[in-house]
Amino acid sequence: MSRDHARSAGRPVTGGAPGDVAEVSGGSDGAAEAPYLDLLARDASVEAYEQPVLLARAAGRPADRIAALERAKLLALRVRSELEGRRRREAELSALFETAHDLAGLRDLDAVLQAIVQRARSLLGTDVAYLSLNDPARGDTYMRVTEGSVAARFQQLRLGMGEGLGGLVAQTARPYVTDDYFKDDRFQHTLAIDAGVRDEGLVAILGVPLMLGPHVIGVLFAADRRARVFEREQIALLGSFAALAAAAIDTANLLTETRTALAGLERANEIIRDGSAVIERASDVHDRLAELVLRGGGVHDVAAAVSQVLDGTVEFTETGAAPAGALEASRAEGHAVRHESDWIAAVAAGGELLGALVLRGHPDLDPVDQRTLERAAMVTSLLLLARRSAAEAEQRVRGELLDDLLDARDRDPRLLRERAARLHADLAATHVVLTARLEGPAADAEEEAAARRRLWSAASHLAATRQGLAAARDGGTVLLLPLTTADTATDVARRTARHLGTAVHLPVTVGASAPVTDLATQPDTVAAAYTEARRCLDALRLLGRAGDGAAPEDFGFLGLLLAGERDVGGFVERTIGPVVAYDERRGTELLHTLEAYFAGGMSPARTKDALHVHVNTVAQRLERVGRLLGEDWQTPARALEIQLALRLHRLAAPGPH
């Protein structure tokens, strides 16, 4: 609300300086939210969010006003936390991309390593960050780069192989973290190392390995001068910086090798021309990959760029589509490996295989081109990680919107529509609520949790591609998908069951609601439809139809029990609607004949006596009914539904029954 608007409404507004809080009279939630919107806009500290409540209490405001402020405070703190998380993730991705750009244009190895250590320290918020490298000539490890260090002895440390926390990381090639260095006996303490750590005042230390293929060439550290627990995301982030640092060292080594080769190639003009062509190709691919990273290209763009440079066909494939042995060898060695007439370069991050770059039909590959393929694989892994982070963020936002709709909270319809529009979802369209659940026993809890994650991921992807929403709920997954004019709720349920079952490699049962509309203005509709969909899912499982999909309309008169609102008219129309319409158009008595036929135990003879007509007339009418309702209309199940529909139709008709 603007200041002028606030004054015109008779509501005082304080100034906008730090510490000021906008105080609005009245008890509405909108008024309670006003000071917190100002705090959010000013990016105020967490402590500042207590001030509106304290002021209201000091002023003796009514209890409902204070309660509204408390609710608004909690909501504002949630928004602030989410914004901080997004800013942090954006900063992490930006730092990774900036480092990748530095690597692509590598000229000074020390500058790149210093930038990596500085960014790692800044993003993890630690007191100190440093990087050590192994010295094969002396058989020890030395400090290469430090950031935030104040102790000279610490900066000049040389460690024997296998000593200290870094020695443990180097031996196991795995990240290690200690909350209290001097109380941790998992690694070998030495007087020199402990003295340096004590001079620096370090307490909590995290170390991750710098890997070139299967070999540890050094360790990247982040440390605090106080006790601290490092989160999994922070460990993964430091691991990403370590991978970039190792790549920078490897690239520097490659450039050194290239310069040495050029010095030797100066002896012959022909060799110089060949060597120049190789370097031009490597420079070309580095420039192209750097440009792709900067303009947000995809993995297939990387493959296309490398195809042109290597004069061959390079394809990105999923993990299951690449030769398993060659892919595992490439991941373990950190290099492209030859497989028959192809070359395979694993695309991996943090030990996780994400796919592979495959160079087709190119058995002879010189070392520089091999490194080019490997660099392309590394850039591809960065792009995939960035895309995954963006997708996960969008999934969370879609899930939060659907949770708000399902919880049927008092939401502003305009805000709901705006949030949905940002996700390319139209809440004014007709939708179907679906609830999906995995079937089949799991071997253990870990496998069941993994299967649920796959189901959630597949459902989220389906919702994103269909302009819908998805959320995890009640041990399963709930989706809100738009319904086209060519589809029914049953079509969507069955198609979704097949799609999700194929994606997770397990049967998935899907129950659907009847179509719902006006979701923004009537949020309670979504919650009711979810309950209806769950009843359909339970009915499918009770009927032994696990792995199938269905809507209330598929269960005949049982659908009357499943539906949130008893759709009697819809049931009658689906069951005997063609007969009702025929009687109305032609003035015939097919309905009356059906009632007499069932009342007479489905005997044509007793039917003709009840109607006082010839038996041939009864036969002709029943034949007409068969053409209208289908040949199976006299089967026990259909006959039961038809009799119920006849009774409901008669009860709904005006006049005496």
- DSSP secondary structure string for all residues of 204-268: EEEEEEEEETTEEEEEEEEEESS-----HHHHHHHHHHHHHHHHHHHHHHHHHHHHHHHHHHTT-
- pTM of the entire structure? 0.36
Mapped onto helix, strand or coil, the DSSP state of residue 646 is helix
Contact 175, 162 (CB under 8 A): no
Contact 25, 10 (CB under 8 A): yes
Across the range 493-499, mean pLDDT stands at 90
For the stretch 126-184, pLDDT in tens is: 999 999 998 888 888 899 999 999 999 999 988 888 888 988 898 888 999 999 999 99
Average pLDDT over residues 492-499: 90
In contact, 161 and 168? CB cutoff 8 Å: no
Residue 496: pLDDT band with limits 50, 70, 90: very high
- Stretch 509-517: mean pLDDT, rounded? 87
| The pLDDT of residue 90 | 62
> Once rounded to an integer, what is the mean pLDDT over residues 511-525?
79
| 26 — pLDDT class (breaks 50, 70, 90) | very low
- Specify the range with the lowest mean pLDDT, choosing from 177-191, 241-255, 275-289: 275-289
* 312: DSSP letter: S
Q: What average pLDDT does range 87-98 have in this prediction?
A: 64
pLDDT at 15: 38
- Percent pLDDT > 70 in the chain is 77
Contact call for residues 615 and 604 (beta carbons, < 8 A) = yes
Direct distance between the N- and C-terminal alpha carbons of the chain, in angstroms, rounded to an integer:
62
Q: Sheet containing 176-178: which strands, arranged edge to edge? A: 158-160, 140-147, 128-135, 215-224, 204-212, 176-178
Which pLDDT score is estimated for 3? 39
Consecutive H or E run containing 597: helix 590-599
What is residue 405's predicted lDDT score, i.e. its pLDDT? 73
The confidence band for 555, taking pLDDT boundaries of 50, 70 and 90, is low
Three-state SS string over 518-566 comes to CCCCCCHHHHHHHHHHHHHHHHHHHCCCCCCEECHHHHCCHHHHHCCCC
Q: What is the mean pLDDT of residues 630-652?
A: 79
Mean pLDDT value of segment 600-608: 87
Kindly give, in sequence order, each residue whose CB lies less than 8 Å from that of residue 385, ignoring residues fewer than 6 positions away.
96, 240, 349, 354
Please choose, from the candidates 454, 336, 471, the residue with its C-alpha nearest in 3D space to the C-alpha of residue 404.
471
> In 377-505, where do the E strands start and end?
431-438, 469-473, 476-482
Least confident of 48-57, 315-324, 379-388, 583-592: 379-388
pLDDT score at 542: 66
Per-residue confidence (pLDDT) for residue 4, from 0 to 100: 42
- Residue 398's CB is within 10 A of a number of other CB atoms, namely 23
Q: What does each C-alpha distance from 218 to 132, 249, 350, 611 come to in angstroms?
A: 5, 10, 16, 98
In this prediction, residues 286-305 reach a mean pLDDT of 70
The pLDDT value given to residue 200: 93
Residues 6+ apart with CB under 8 A from 292: 301, 302, 305, 379, 383
Task: Give DSSP secondary structure letters for 131-193.
Answer: EEEEETTTTEEEEEEEES---HHHHT-EEETT-HHHHHHHHHTS-EEESSGGG--SS---HHH
Q: Check whether 359 has a pLDDT greater than 70.
A: yes
Percent of the chain with pLDDT over 90: 9
**CA pair distance 639, 553, nearest whole angstrom:** 17
| Per-residue pLDDT, 558 | 55
Q: How many residues does the structure list for the chain?
A: 657
Q: What is the rounded average pLDDT for all residues in the chain?
A: 78
Band (pLDDT 50/70/90 cuts) for residue 14 is very low
pLDDT score for 21: 40
- For residues 616-626, give the mean pLDDT: 89
pLDDT for 1:
38
